[in-house]
Structure 1
Amino acid sequence: MTYLYFPGCSLKGTGRAYEESLLAVFRALRIPLVELADWNCCGATTYMSIDEHQSCALAARNLALAEQQSPTADGTTQLIAPCSACYLVLLKAQRCLASAGSLSQEILRALQEGGHRYQGRVRIRHPLDVLANDVGLKEIARHVRQPLRGLRVACYYGCQIVRPFASFDHPHYPTTMDELVRTLGAEPVDWPLKSHCCGGSLTGTIPEVGLRLNYLLLHEAQRRGADVVITACPLCQFNLEAYQDQIRRRYPALAPMPVLYFTQLMGLAMGLPARELGLQRLMVPMEKLAVASVRG
């Protein structure tokens, strides 16, 4: 099956390592990905709080493009959205368009005026969902070349891929990433903050709140003995990694903690080249990861 791929803005910018590692892993697993042509911003930064109409229209255009570009035999389209915000906003827009309310009708008319049509045939997927439920852990295990034995991993899902819709995992205690980590030979850390919010944009708007939320996550991962935190969200990864120096000025006892995308960890276990996985972009050294991969 060929999947359409919606990168969104983050994976072409600060989340570039996510795109690099995702594409490398999917190539290794022989999962065909085709980038959605002429895609636009999903509207995450304008959703609800600024202009719901504009945000829904932006997301709806991507859904209409997906229908036009990749219908399957049964008339549906599989659209992968790796970014948590993109994934959530596309799902919200889809629910809105299916509601037959006044906003839905307004957006559908706007699409028609732009030469597009949406008929509700897109299935929005997260990469974790595709890997666990379409590819399967057994198939992934076949591609593991360097099992990450001895590595303790805190799987951080964030709040957007499992709430409010929870289409493929539990809304408060998800386990998909944990099972994937076991398949790679590492040990997932059992911790209660795996779906707590990192603060999102609060690190840049109300720093004392955003930094505190990130500290709580990193501190708990450290307290539970994690060697690394992995995530599936570009903003979560940026917050947890890029602000560690600032966080340590307030909380000196916090040790440096590598924060990777789950696809980077997969690529390590699969023996893929470091640069293909964007590992050179990490801000926090990952010596323990290197040792663990060699040990396998």
Structure 2
Amino acid sequence: MVKRYAYYPGCSLERNAAAYDESFRAVVQALGIELVEIEDWNCCGATEYFSLDLLPAYALVARNLALIPPDLDQVVAPCSACYYNMYKTDKNMALHPELARAVNEALAAGHLHYEPGRVRSRHALEVVVEDFTPEEIAAHVQKPLRGLRLAAYYGCVTVRPASHDDHEYPTRMERLLQALGATVVDYTLRANCCGGHMTQLDADTAYRMIYYLLSNAARLDVDALVVACPMCQLNLDAYQGQVNAHFGSDFRIPILYFTQMMGLAFGIEPERLGFGQEIVSAERVLEKWRNPPPEEETAERRPRRKETGLPMPEPLIAGRGYVLVTNDKAAPLHFDHRIPIPVLPERRRG
């Protein structure tokens, strides 16, 4: 049975994040999902508009929700800010009847009305990992990501405040990458902020935040950082050169969308997935994908410790340390290794 969702691409996926849109459409087609793009959608206002004038900001987002066809009750947005704005607008209209009345009064000027709760707003990553089991995802894998060392980076908005994953130590993207055959590393900064629009306000602070993320990834010797947010991808990719000049570093880490990695594993040609649009070239990633290393032989298992031996410690609680298994139904995560977080250097002088 084909799953149908309303689709809100948002502004960034039509320009700098076009690779996200192209790869998401290609992947969901392979999974049997039909996307119905909202007709005449408008910008969600990003994050700034809500700090300027609340009522027009909510009305702007509610207009997109009101335009969703009545036979669809779920909307998916790949952009984390777009997803959050739709989720927040729907929730706050339901919680505050006065807000709902004011927003619908504004929408009435365009002969529109939105009933809060009618449409469930969802992030693209949520749809992939919640509506499909790891086994269903793995069944579509034609060319596993064997030999690729990948780190998942969520940023702050994707997992806060509404994610069903742990807000500080999410693992759903790691499980997805593992199902695709990649070697997943334990990137402890996965939910840290990338700085957002700080590059336009305070470049020195922004570059330090980006350096912090890139230096940790470099120490883990990753082939790529895998993201689910256009803002995160832009900051880590487009400003990597400025960060190198600022600190005297030499980072060359491709920043790729999780949908691009899914597409490669599904056997979809890179051109259809938007490869080549990134600033830091992903050619080395594609070369490893085209020519994976030979499969390693399964190592002989060590004998189990005798029952009379010392007891194993209890698993750590999510959000308070390393979490390899978050629930009984989830497949265990197998991280490659852990490396301590680096110390930020002083800005290079001269």
Could you tell me the TM-score, scaled by structure 2's length?
0.79
State the match for 1:78 in structure 2.
74
Q: Distance in 1 between matches of 2:53 and 2:151?
A: 36
State the match for 1:151 in structure 2.
148
Number of residue pairs matched? Answer: 289
The gaps in structure 2 that reach 5 residues or longer are: 293-350
State the match for 2:194 in structure 1.
198
Q: Distance in 2 between matches of 1:50 and 1:165?
A: 23
Q: Distance in 2 between matches of 1:126 and 1:38?
A: 20
State the match for 1:162 in structure 2.
159
Q: Distance in 1 between matches of 2:274 and 2:287?
A: 18
State the match for 1:22 in structure 2.
24
Q: What displacement does 1:112 show?
A: 2.6
In 1, are the aligned partners of 2:276 and 2:282 still within 8 Å (CA)? no
SS of residue paired to 1:2: strand
Q: What letter matches 1:235 in structure 2?
A: M
> In the TM superposition, what whole-angstrom CA distance separates every residue of 1:221-251 from its partner, at most 9, and x where no partner exists?
1112211001011111011001111100122
> In the TM superposition, what whole-angstrom CA distance separates every residue of 1:119-173 from its partner, at most 9, and x where no partner exists?
221011111111111122211111111111121111010111211222x211111
Q: What displacement does 1:205 show?
A: 2.0
Q: What displacement does 1:292 show?
A: 2.6
* Aligned with 1:269 (options 262, 265, 269): 265
Moved more, 112-121 or 1-10: 112-121
SS of residue paired to 2:187: coil
In 2, are the aligned partners of 1:79 and 1:122 still within 8 Å (CA)? yes
In 1, are the aligned partners of 2:23 and 2:260 still within 8 Å (CA)? yes
Q: What letter matches 1:139 in structure 2?
A: E
Structure with bigger gyration radius = 2
Q: What letter matches 1:135 in structure 2?
A: F
Write out aligned runs for 1:175-194 (5 A): 175-194=171-190
In 2, are the aligned partners of 1:47 and 1:56 still within 8 Å (CA)? no
State the match for 2:12 in structure 1.
10
Q: Distance in 2 between matches of 1:162 and 1:290?
A: 28
In 2, are the aligned partners of 1:44 and 1:55 still within 8 Å (CA)? no
State the match for 1:36 in structure 2.
38
State the match for 1:136 in structure 2.
133
Q: Distance in 1 between matches of 2:250 and 2:208?
A: 12
Could you tell me the TM-score, scaled by structure 1's length?
0.93
Q: RMSD value over aligned CA atoms?
A: 1.4
> In the TM superposition, what whole-angstrom CA distance separates every residue of 1:152-198 from its partner, at most 9, and x where no partner exists?
111010111211222x2111111111101001100221122101100
Q: What letter matches 1:138 in structure 2?
A: E
SS of residue paired to 1:80: strand
SS of residue paired to 2:39: coil
Q: What displacement does 1:12 show?
A: 0.7
Q: What letter matches 1:34 in structure 2?
A: V
Q: What displacement does 1:255 show?
A: 2.3
Residues 1:48 and 2:44 aligned together: no
The gaps in structure 1 that reach 5 residues or longer are: none
Q: Which has the higher helix share?
A: 1
Q: What letter matches 2:175 in structure 1?
A: E
Q: Distance in 1 between matches of 2:96 and 2:249?
A: 54
State the match for 1:243 in structure 2.
239
Residue 210 to residue 275, structure 1, CA distance change in 2 (3 Å): same
Q: Distance in 2 between matches of 1:27 and 1:61?
A: 27
Q: Distance in 2 between matches of 1:247 and 1:253?
A: 7
Q: What displacement does 1:286 show?
A: 2.1
State the match for 2:67 in structure 1.
65
In 2, are the aligned partners of 1:4 and 1:70 still within 8 Å (CA)? no
In 2, are the aligned partners of 1:83 and 1:233 still within 8 Å (CA)? yes
> In the TM superposition, what whole-angstrom CA distance separates every residue of 1:66-122 from its partner, at most 9, and x where no partner exists?
1xx1425xxxx1100110110111111111110234323211222233211212210
Q: Distance in 2 between matches of 1:104 and 1:209?
A: 38
Q: What letter matches 1:42 in structure 2?
A: C
> In the TM superposition, what whole-angstrom CA distance separates every residue of 1:42-64 from its partner, at most 9, and x where no partner exists?
12244332111111111111111
